[in-house]
Amino acid sequence: MDLATLAGDYTVRTVVAGAALLGIVSGVLGTFAVLRRQSLLGDALAHAALPGIALGFLVAGQRALPALLAGALASAVAAALLVALLVRRTRLKGDAAIGLALSLFFAVGVILLSFVQGRAGAGQAGLETFLFGQAAAILRSDLWVMAALAGVALASVAALWKEFELVTFDPTYAAALGLPVAVLDVTLTALVAVAVVLGLQLVGVVLMSAMLIAPAVAARQWTHRLGRVAILAALFGAASGVLGATVSAGARGLATGPLIVLALSAFTALSLVFAPTRGLLPTALRRRADRAGHRDRDVLRALDTLRRRHDDPTYAAERGMVDATVGHPTGRTLRTLERRGLVERVRHRPEEGRHWRLLEAGEAALERGRDGPDAPEGRA
Site residues (vs other proteins, CB under 8 A): 34, 37-40, 42-43, 47, 86, 89-93, 95-96, 98-100, 102-104, 106-115, 118, 128, 131-132, 205-207, 209-210, 212-214, 216-217, 220-221, 253-255, 257-259, 261-262, 265, 268, 272, 278, 280
Strands 316-318 and 343-347: unpaired
Of 267 and 315, CB closest to other proteins: 267
Q: How far is the CB of 271 from other proteins (least distance, A)?
A: 9
Q: How far is the CB of 43 from other proteins (least distance, A)?
A: 6
Of 209 and 333, CB closest to other proteins: 209
The C-alpha atoms of residue 281 and residue 286 are separated, in whole angstroms, by 9
Q: Are 199 and 22 in contact (CB under 8 A)?
A: yes
Q: How far is the CB of 76 from other proteins (least distance, A)?
A: 15
Q: CB count, 10 Å around CB of 5?
A: 11
The C-alpha atoms of residue 48 and residue 40 are separated, in whole angstroms, by 12
Q: How far is the CB of 81 from other proteins (least distance, A)?
A: 14
Q: Which ranges constitute the DSSP H helices of the chain?
A: 3-8, 10-35, 41-60, 65-89, 94-118, 129-132, 140-159, 161-169, 171-176, 181-220, 226-250, 256-274, 280-309, 319-326, 331-339, 360-371
Of 42 and 71, CB closest to other proteins: 42
Q: How far is the CB of 209 from other proteins (least distance, A)?
A: 4
- How is residue 119 annotated by DSSP? S
Q: How far is the CB of 185 from other proteins (least distance, A)?
A: 17
Of 98 and 135, CB closest to other proteins: 98
Nearest to 112 by CA among 98, 136, 131: 131
Of 98 and 193, CB closest to other proteins: 98
Of 123 and 331, CB closest to other proteins: 123
Q: Are 202 and 22 in contact (CB under 8 A)?
A: yes
